Amino acid sequence: MSCDDLSDDVLLARVANGDERASRLVVERHLGRVLALARRMLGNPSEAEDVAQDAFLALWRHAGRWRPGEAQLSTWLYKVASNRCLDRLRRRPQVGLDEVPEQSADGDAERDLHRQDVAREVEAALMALPERQRLAVSLCHYQELGNIEAAALMEISVEALESLLARGRRGLRQQLAERLPDLLGEP
C-alpha cells in the first residue's frame, strides 16, 4: 500500500514518528481547503498563508497526541484555522480586498473582467458580514461541511448554526441586491 492510500489517522502516526513523506502528503491533501477558508475569512492571501502555516505547525506539534477516530483531520485543521482567523480579525478594524483572480485560459477578457467584478462584489459582501456569520457561510457553502460538522467545529448547536446561516444569507442578499443586477446585466 502506498502512502497515498493511507488514512489521515495512519499518516498522522507516521508524521509523529518523523516521516517526511507522510507530512508532505497531509499538506497536499488539506492545504488547499485550509487556505480557501482562511482567504474567505480574512480577504487577504498573505494573511491566509500565515494562518495555514500556523495550522499545520500546530498539527505537527500535536501529531503525537492525535487520537484516531475522535475527529476528522480536516475538521481539526478548519477549527485551528478558523480560530486563528478570528484572532486576526479581532486585532484589526477592517480588511482590504487585494486578491485579483487570474484570467481564464479561453482568453475572453471581457467575460473574465465581468466574472472578477461579480466575484469581488460577492467577496466584499461576505467580508462585510459579522465574523461568526462569515465563518458559518464559509464552512457550509465554500468548505462544503454539513451543518452538524460545522456546528461542532464552531462549538455551537445546529440550531444556532442555522440561525447564523440564515442571517448571513439575508445579509448577503441585502448587500448584493442593489449592485448585483447591474453586474449580472439584468434590467
Mind listing the pLDDT tens digit for each residue in 108-141? 666 766 677 777 788 888 888 898 999 999 888 8
CA dist 62 and 127 (Å) reads 31
pLDDT at 184 over 70: no
Q: What is the pLDDT of residue 1?
A: 52
**pLDDT confidence of residue 97:** 40
**pLDDT of 63:** 86
pLDDT at 30 over 80: yes
| 136 Cβ neighbours under 8 A, 6+ residues apart | 150, 154, 161, 164, 165, 168
Mean pLDDT of 77-83: 90
**Other residues' Cβ atoms within 10 Å of the Cβ of residue 161:** 24
Checking if the pLDDT of 165 tops 60, the result is yes
Q: What is the pTM of this model?
A: 0.62
Cα 45 from Cα 49, distance rounded (Å): 6
86 vs 102: CA distance, rounded Å = 27
Q: Among 166, 130, 143, 165, which residue's Cα sits nearest to residue 78? A: 143
Which of 35-39, 78-82, 123-127, 177-181 is predicted least confidently?
Answer: 177-181
pLDDT digit string, tens, across residues 89-111: 888 654 344 444 454 455 566 67
Q: Determine phi and psi for 144, rounding to 5 degrees.
A: 60, 35
pLDDT score recorded for residue 4: 67
64: left (phi over 0), alpha (psi -120 to 50) or beta: alpha
Q: Give the three-class secondary structure for 101.
A: coil
Which domains, ranges and CATH numbers included, belong to the chain? 1-96 (1.10.1740.10), 104-187 (1.10.10.10)
What is the rounded CA–CA span in Å between residue 180 and residue 176?
Answer: 5
Phi, psi of 72 (to 5 degrees): -85, 140
Q: Outline where the chain has alpha helix (H).
A: 8-16, 20-42, 45-62, 73-90, 109-128, 131-137, 147-154, 158-177, 180-184
Give the pLDDT confidence score for residue 106 in this predicted structure: 52
- Give the residue-averaged pLDDT of 47-74: 89
pLDDT tens digits for 3-24?
Answer: 667 888 888 899 899 889 999 9
Q: Which of 2-11, 63-72, 79-88 has the highest mean pLDDT?
A: 79-88
